[in-house]
Amino acid sequence: MESVRLLTAMITPYDENLEINYEKAGEIANYLASNGSDGVIVSGTTGESPVLTGEEKLQLLETVKKAAGDKMQVWSGTGSNNTKETIKLSLEAEKLGADGIMLVTPYYNKPSQEGLYQHFKAIASKLSLPVMLYNVPGRTSSNLLPETVAKLVEIDNIVAVKEASGNMDQVSLLKSLIADRAMIYSGDDSLTLPIMALGGQGVVSIASHIIGNEIKEMISLFAAAEVNKATEMHIKLFPIFRGLFIASNPVPLKESLNLLGKEVGNLRLPLTSASDEEREFIKNLLKEHNLL
């Protein structure tokens, strides 16, 4: 994954009946491959994983892999708070040719650090695929601590961490403990540059749906030691990074894509469409950055 710096957490497009539009998913994947993404992760939080069935997740993976798998990596979000079911789904994703899997920290049941360790170890030990851990305590109420990650990356196929705690001290400690044994990806677009400054690899992005080439340029500038230019780009893109979180992800993102004519459909409950005020904010944001 050394060359993979920009991964996109891909949305799941729906038709008017809120069934997955697999043809559109293939189109979106090809669009992302042509606009900066080194890979995509299907069925993550941005892909509305909590409201997708296992069968839908696998068909989405198969569709995207077939559409764009020769142009970029295709990873599958198979994590859940049920270890046995996660193993089952991950094995199916492996059979379908996923390039890797992303495992979110178990939500709701709030395991201990030992529980988190045993959960991820049990899954990784059943697979030959590369594994990315996903720490997002704001959504899961479980914080995967750096000390636990340091133990986990001793497992050969746990190769990366998507860190979305928003805590830069935690990122610093994480890097100091794991060194180069695994790659750290920012889980927040707005923290991509700060995390890369601490030795991070890149980002699992949502903003790359609309400004992928610009994010890729920012990352490339930083990697080439053009720090001032990279910072200028970060400042320029920062309003978009933050603006896409005026409501729960992926509500503003889907609204943005629909305004841009991508026709990705609505959202499944319990998520609902952007409000009139949010829609107006998003429209103005896109216009201000000459995207609309």
Amino acid at 256: S
Q: How far apart are CA 154 and CA 213, in angstroms?
A: 34
Q: Can you give the pTM of this predicted structure? A: 0.97
What gap in Å lies between CA 144 and CA 244, rounded to an integer? 25
Q: Where are the beta strands (DSSP E) in 164-232?
A: 183-186, 202-205
Which pLDDT band, with edges at 50, 70 and 90, does 121 fall under? very high
Q: Tell me: the pLDDT tens digits for 255-281?
A: 999 999 999 999 999 999 999 999 999
Contact 231, 225 (CB under 8 A): no
Residue 12 pLDDT greater than 80, yes or no = yes
Helix 54-68 to helix 83-95 angle (10° resolution) is 30
The pLDDT mean for the chain works out to: 97
pLDDT in tens, 50-66: 999 999 999 999 999 99
Rounded to whole angstroms, the Cα distance separating 31 from 37 reads 9
Give 175-184 pLDDT, tens digit per residue: 999 999 999 9
Mean pLDDT of 118-131: 98
- pLDDT reading at 5 higher than 90: yes
**Which helix or strand (DSSP H or E) is residue 282 part of?**
helix 276-288
Residue type, 76: S
Q: Which of 24, 57, 151, 162 is catalytic?
A: 162
Residue of 117, 134, 216, 254 marked catalytic: 134
Average pLDDT over residues 201-225: 98
1, pLDDT greater than 80: no
231's enclosing H/E stretch is helix 227-243
Contacts made by residues 194-201, CB under 8 angstroms, sequence distance 24+: 194/168, 195/163, 195/168, 195/171, 196/222, 196/223, 197/222, 198/168, 198/171, 198/172, 199/175, 200/163, 200/171, 200/175, 201/1, 201/4, 201/5, 201/160
- Rounded CA-CA distance 117/32 in Å is 33
Q: Is 95 a catalytic residue?
A: no
**Is 216 an annotated catalytic residue?**
no
**Every domain of the chain and the residues it spans:** 6-224
CA dihedral for 19, 244, 189, 185, sign (positive or negative): negative
Whether the pLDDT of residue 4 is over 80: the answer is yes
pLDDT in tens, 131-177: 999 999 999 999 999 999 999 999 999 999 999 999 999 999 999 99
Pick from 269, 202, 173, 195: nearest CA to 38: 202
State residue 2's pLDDT score: 74
6-224 topology per CATH: TIM Barrel (3.20.20)
Q: Which 3 state secondary structure label does DSSP give 105?
A: coil
pLDDT bucket at 223, cuts 50 / 70 / 90? very high
The residues, any chain, with a CB within 8 Å of residue 43's CB and separated by 6 or more, are: 12, 49, 52, 57, 60, 61, 76, 77, 78
Pick the closest to residue 125 from 156, 88, 161 (CA basis).
156
Measured at the CA of 47, the angle between CA 41 and CA 53, to 5 degrees, comes to 105
pLDDT at residue 38 greater than cutoff 90 = yes
Cβ atoms of 76 and 106 within 8 Å: the answer is: no
